Amino acid sequence: MIVESQQARFPSIALDCGVTLHNIDVTYETYGTLDSAKSNAILILHAFSGDAHAAGVDATGAPGWWDNMIGPAKAFDTNKYFVICSNVLGGCRGTTGPSSIDAATGKPYAMTFPVITIGDMVRLQKMLIDSLGIERLLAVAGGSMGGMQVLEWVAAYPESVRCALPIASTWRHSAQQIAFNEVGRQAVMFDPDWNNGDYYSTSKPPARGLSIARMVGHITYMSDESMRQKFGRRLRDKNAFGFDFEVDFEVESYLRYRGAQFVDRFDPNSYLFITKAMDYFDVTQGRGPLPTVFEKADTRFLVISFTSDWLYPTYQSLEIVRALRSRNREVAFVELESNYGHDAFLIEVGEQMEIVRGFLASAFKETSAGLMKECA
Amino acid sequence: MAFVHALFGRSDYAIIGELVEPKSKVLDLGCGEAELLAWLKEHKQVEARGVELSAAKVQRAIARGVSVYQGDIDEALADYPNATFDTIILSQTLQETQHPLRVLTEMLRVGRTAIVAFPNFGHWRVRVSHLFSGRAPKTGLFPYDWHSSPNLHYLTVQDFESLANEQGWHVDRRIFLAGQRQISMAPNLFAEVAVYMFHKPVQKN
């Protein structure tokens, strides 16, 4: 199926930093059909470098980033559910961000863009969902930064979320997570081409800085085991060391390639703003201890973590599970076996698919039964 | 002697299925793939929760639509406030826990009622096996070699009775099973599996 992205525009949004942002564009995609009771909508939330193109293929033939999970008869079964995915606020893939034109100046916002939060991203998504006439989502689901948005959704709009699926995620960014993000930001900002964020006019973005940031990122998304299996110490197109500082190893080549590729599709300032939003994330901020944050939620949780994920380790998922348990909220949890590290939530779909499919089916059945009872 | 249905091939499941109150809150410790919980949800509209150590079983339980989490029984109970559940089930797992008495005490803190099913080590076949072989008993009920058994603690019907007495638990129901039959005569000799439903009397000041 070829999908086309859609656009929505909102007049203004009040941000956590105190600033009100005007004329916000949101790019989103939808898959499947919204039922007449509007009870089958699922919002998918993308991770750091993702976008609205979650499933199907776009006009260029590129598959969505979670196409293996979303589609007919897949985990998020588009024969049954209406699936929505939007690009986050601060992004660079169609939703307003630092590379968008500020109507007040006629130039890109660049570093005048306000520092945004996960809460702001979710507030904008709520506006989108409201504009689609959906009062209650059957589910909100996402991995990594997507999982943070899931938790924020339940905390901010408990009555609007029937099921929450935070995958390979955390309820607050840890020192280690902040540390890696800071390395990435410094790499971008130390590149002279960054030019205090004003590189849009020079059309010479800080490509070296951004690609180094991405190289670090990719290391944190893999695991020692997956790198050993994928690259080992294999040399790249040679049988002996070059005794220079060109690429010797496969792993060097891979990281350089991924870094360079990222520059073509990602705005360096978005890198700064979105990583900052993740670092600021703590779902308890201004809300009290974790168990009380989800106290009011009549939401069913499915929490998933992966054994080799050292960037978002299982203990962070378990903290969410334990908080929910202490209030007897409905929570299912499993730590899936995988060698792929943090990337597992995008790759390791076999078991994840079965679990998510069954979990959603039972929740949808209960929701439908509940609706029928209300009507009777 | 009365015949007992089997639920998923297990007569203790059938008994437990009858004992659980409709629309109650139920926690199943060591719930496996949550066949029993799914049945209770479907037929008794209970609010079902389960704990299971094996990730593979948890996956199948969640795919079945039951809220099960992967974890250790002792740890799982510690998080819950007092009297969270109407009934807590521990079926054929007591003998595998590290600290059985601690688990039972926690069950009675977190639940109003506990249902425990366990294989009876006092069964005559166990006694005969030990008496004549002079080795650690190996029977249909206890099929493992001593070195690879998941069972850490062995108990008999008599043992459970005296523990309940000692702890001041009130036994609401005691059901003894031999295959598909419910028996009442000399259960410590003839019961293969014992099912106890019990609670802690409310303390009066």
Instruction: Render B122-133 in DSSP notation, one character per residue.
Output: T-HHHHHHHHHH
> Active site residue: A5, A39, A99, A144, which one?
A144
Tell me what percent of the residues of chain B surpass a pLDDT of 90.
Answer: 80
Q: Does residue B68 sit at the A interface (CB-CB below 8 Å)? A: yes
Q: Which residues of B fall within a CB distance of 8 Å from A358?
A: 62-65
Whether B176 and B182 have beta carbons less than 8 Å apart is answered as yes
Contact A333 B55 (CB under 8 A): no
Q: Distance (Å, rounded) from C-alpha B1 to C-alpha B182?
A: 6
Whether A20 and A60 have beta carbons less than 8 Å apart is answered as no
Whether B106 and B77 have beta carbons less than 8 Å apart is answered as yes
Q: Distance (Å, rounded) from C-alpha A257 to C-alpha A261?
A: 6
Which residues are bridge partners to B183 per DSSP?
B176
For chain A, first and last CA: distance in Å? 38
Q: Distance (Å, rounded) from C-alpha B104 to C-alpha B175?
A: 18
| Beta-carbon-side half-sphere exposure of residue B16 (alpha carbons within 13 Å) | 31
* Residue A342 is a catalytic residue: yes
Q: What is the pLDDT of residue A373?
A: 63
Residue ranges, chain A, pLDDT below 50 = none
Q: Which residues of B fall within a CB distance of 8 Å from A365?
A: 65
* Residue A144 is a catalytic residue: yes
Give the chain B residue nearest A322 (alpha carbons).
B79
Q: What is the DSSP letter of A249?
A: B
Residue B205 pLDDT level (bands cut at 50, 70, 90):
low
Q: What is the pLDDT of residue A13?
A: 98
Q: What is the pLDDT of residue B76?
A: 83
Tokens, residue A85: 């995915």
Q: Would you put residue A45 in left (φ > 0), alpha (ψ -120 to 50) or beta?
A: beta
> Active site residue: A248, A267, A309, A343, which one?
A309
Residue in B58, B59, B67 closest to A331 by CB: B67
pTM of the model: 0.94
B74 Cβ contact list (under 8 Å, min separation 6): B97, B98, B99, B102, B103, B106
Contact A355 B66 (CB under 8 A): no
Crossing angle for the helix pair A349-375 and B55-63, to the nearest 10 degrees: 30
Selected for mutation to probe chain A from B51, B58, B70 (highest A CB count within 10 Å) is B70
Bridge-based pairing of strands A300-306 and A20-31 is unpaired
The stretch B120-145 carries a mean pLDDT of 92
Q: What is the pLDDT of residue B202?
A: 77
**pLDDT for B170 beyond 70:** yes
Q: For all residues of chain A together, what is the average pLDDT? A: 95
Residue in B49, B65, B80 closest to A358 by CB: B65
Q: What is the pLDDT of residue A376?
A: 53
Q: For all residues of chain B together, what is the average pLDDT? A: 92
Give the model confidence (pLDDT) of B10-67 as tens digits. Answer: 888 999 999 999 999 999 999 999 999 999 999 999 999 999 999 999 999 999 999 9
